Amino acid sequence: MPNDISEQICQQVKQAQQSAQPLSIHGSHSHDFMLPEFAESQQLNMNEHQGIIDYQPTELTVTALSGTKLEEIQQTLAKEHQRPSTDFPAFSADATLGGAVSIGHTGSARPYYGAIRDHILGASLVNTSGEIMHFGGQVMKNVAGYDVSRLLAGTRGTLGPILEITLKVQPIPEQQSTLCMDLDENAAIEIMNRLAGQSLPISASVFFDNTLYIRLEGTEAGIQQAQKTINGQPMADGVDFWNSIQQQKHDFFTSSQPLWRVIVPATTPGLKLENQQSSLIDWCGGLRWVQASEVSTADIENIREKGGYIESFRGSKPMQQADLMSPLQKQMHAKIKSAFDPDQLFNPALSNFA
Site residues for another protein, window 73-132 (CB under 8 A)? 81, 104-105, 110-111, 114-115, 117-118, 127, 131
Q: How many helices (H) and strands (E) does the chain have?
A: 11, 16
Kindly identify the residues of this chain, within the stretch 18-47, that bind another protein according to CB under 8 A: none
Residue closer to another protein, measured from CB, 219 or 296: 219
Based on the shown chain and the rule CB under 8 A, indicate whether residue 59 belongs to the binding site for another protein: yes
Based on the shown chain and the rule CB under 8 A, indicate whether residue 4 belongs to the binding site for another protein: no
Kindly identify the residues of this chain, within the stretch 191-230, that bind another protein according to CB under 8 A: 193-194, 196-200, 218-219, 221-222, 225
- Min dist CB 256 to another protein, Å, is 26
Residue closer to another protein, measured from CB, 47 or 86: 86
Do residues 267 and 197 touch, judged by C-beta distance below 8 A? no
Residues 6+ apart with CB under 8 A from 251: none
Based on the shown chain and the rule CB under 8 A, indicate whether residue 335 belongs to the binding site for another protein: yes
- 250-276 burial, b for 16+ CB within 10 Å, e for fewer? bebbeeebbbbbbbbebebeebebeeb
Report the residue from 2, 36, 51, 154 that binds another protein according to the rule CB under 8 A.
154
Size of the site for another protein (CB under 8 A): 81
Based on the shown chain and the rule CB under 8 A, indicate whether residue 171 belongs to the binding site for another protein: yes
State how far the Cα of 82 lies from the Cα of 119, in Å rounded to an integer: 14
Closest C-alpha to 113, from 224, 196, 212: 196
Report the residue from 2, 36, 51, 137 that binds another protein according to the rule CB under 8 A.
137
* Binding piece for another protein, criterion CB under 8 A, among 28-36, 51-59, 68-76, 86-94: 51-59
Q: How many CB atoms lie within 10 A of CB 244?
A: 16
Residue 344 carries which side chain, given as an amino acid letter? Q
Integer Rg of the chain from CA: 21
Kindly identify the residues of this chain, within the stretch 275-314, that bind another protein according to CB under 8 A: 283, 286-287, 307-309, 311
Reduced to 3 states (helix: H, G, I; strand: E, B; else coil), residue 191 is: helix
